[in-house]
Structure 1
Amino acid sequence: MFELPVAVDLRTAARALGICSGTAYRLIYEGTFPCSIMRVGRQYRVSTTELMRVLGIEERPLYTVELETGPDSPQNPLNP
């Protein structure tokens, strides 16, 4: 999920939510799709940030090392 672009197509969003594309289109038509939908030309787009929020995924993963040393600590091996 962290490698996705800012917005994804409806098919990708539907797969992430565990539903088929047909169900996704039906939910959009009914106004009950769990994320806000953007219409770009003839295509639907879903914000990756909002999709992750609906799935319960934080925007940035938190690692145990960060909890112990702090995210900006020079002792943190994940800190570039």
Structure 2
Amino acid sequence: MSPRSGPPLSFAEAFDLPLSVDLRTAARAFGVCPGTAYKLIRRGAFPCPVLRVGRRYRIPTAHLLRSLGIEERPVYAVDLEAGASYAASLDATDIRGTEDPS
């Protein structure tokens, strides 16, 4: 058995993935070594759709997360606070920008 390419992905890492990932990253998400992932692809048994791009494999992140049972991205308090701060800054800009000079 070949070694894993790193520890399994955490939830925070999974939610920060780009639109598609390489096979090593997908293997980490499933907790298997890359060699096992390649074998599963050859057998047509990889747990989510795999795209062949040239000589490389790419896995759409949406399918990867869905295969892991993650349907929705959670909302964290930090995200809400950042969004509220951003909205407040936009409101302040709108108020200054719409003042009637007359």
Same fold, TM-score > 0.5, yes or no:
yes
Distance 2:29 2:65 in 1: 9
More strand by share: 1
Structure number with bigger Rg? 2
Q: Which has the higher contact order (CA 8 A, sep 6+)?
A: 1
Give the alignment partner of residue 49 of structure 1, picking from 59, 62, 71. Answer: 62
TM-score (norm 2): 0.60
The alignment's C-alpha RMSD in Å is 1.7
Report how far residue 79 of structure 1 moved.
4.2
TM-score (norm 1): 0.75
**Divergent runs of 4+, >4 A:** 76-79
Consecutive unaligned residues in structure 2, runs of 5 or more: 1-13, 85-102
More helix by share: 2
Consecutive unaligned residues in structure 1, runs of 5 or more: 66-75
